[in-house]
Amino acid sequence: MHKKWVSLFLLFFCFPLWAQKIPDNIFSYMQGKSWQKKNAVQKKDLVYLQITYYGFDGNFHPGELIVHKQVAQEVLEIFDELYHAHFPLQKVQLIDKYQGSDELSMADNNSSAFCTRPMTGEKNSFSKHSYGIAIDINPVQNPYVKNDLVLPAKGNEYLDRRKIRKGMIVKDNVCYKAFTRRGWKWGGDWRTLQDYQHFEKDI
């Protein structure tokens, strides 16, 4: 069988894109990590997604995300679009694999969505991630930048946004368009800081 058709067969039959209620074993794993005693949403508001993404290694991989149910279908569409455009992602794992630590997830260049936590630099406000309506993409190539603060630290290598490299998000590229065409806002457009990895949506 031709390599192209083998790839398509595996994509659609082995690693389909789909959404479901959060399985009990996944929800149990989330406890004390992305899911805290005090949360911005209820479990019934969230769904578990399985997606396929095109890796930095040129191969496809299964990934998983948890998002708000109101954005689930379009998130599936976004990641399907990124896959078919061969926009590379390093990893797409639940942030619970990093004990719910945004810092550890970013440092490992993991793309993630739901996590109950405060806004970066704030203590008393829930992040959009806490509602499942924000997604971070390739944090190393697309760092959070505020004055001299760069997160993750490895993102310092990507501060020159004119030097476009694999996995970077820049205005009007395929990743930017896949999100913004569906009404998501990009942190790279913010004025007081730039959160190049970050997309969020109001619901």
How much is the pLDDT for 19? 85
d(CA 190, CA 196) in angstroms, rounded, equals 9
| CA–CA separation, 119 and 190 (whole Å) | 15
d(CA 134, CA 118): 13
Two tokens, residue 137 = 């993409």
User: CA-to-CA distance for 18 and 67, rounded, in angstroms?
Assistant: 12
Residue type for position 161: R
55: number of Cβ within 10 Å = 15
Q: Which residues of 87-121 are buried (b: 16+ CB within 10 A; e: fewer)?
A: bbbbbbbbbbbbebbbeebbbbbbbbbbbbbeebe
Query: Tens-of-pLDDT digits for all 203 residues of the chain?
Result: 444 444 444 444 445 577 899 999 999 999 999 999 999 999 999 999 999 999 999 999 999 999 999 999 999 999 999 999 999 999 999 999 999 999 999 999 999 999 999 876 666 689 999 999 999 999 999 999 999 999 999 999 999 999 999 999 999 999 999 999 999 999 999 999 999 999 999 99
- What pLDDT is attached to residue 119? 77
Q: What is the pLDDT of residue 16?
A: 55
pLDDT at 121: 60
Number of domains in the chain: 1
Report which residue type is found at 148.
Answer: D
What does 129-154 look like in DSSP terms, one character per residue? GGGT-EEE--TTTS-EEETTEEESGG
Contact partners, residue 87, CB within 8 Å, separation at least 6: 54, 167, 173, 174, 175, 178
The DSSP secondary-structure symbol of 67 reads E
Q: pTM of the predicted model, to two decimals? A: 0.90
Q: How many CB atoms lie within 10 A of CB 54?
A: 19
Which domain, by its residues, includes 87? 3-200
- Residue carrying structure tokens 């040129």: 58
**For position 14, what pLDDT does the model report?**
47
Check residue 123 and give its pLDDT.
64
Residues forming beta bridges with residue 31, ordered by sequence position: 35
Q: Tell me what pLDDT residue 8 has.
A: 44
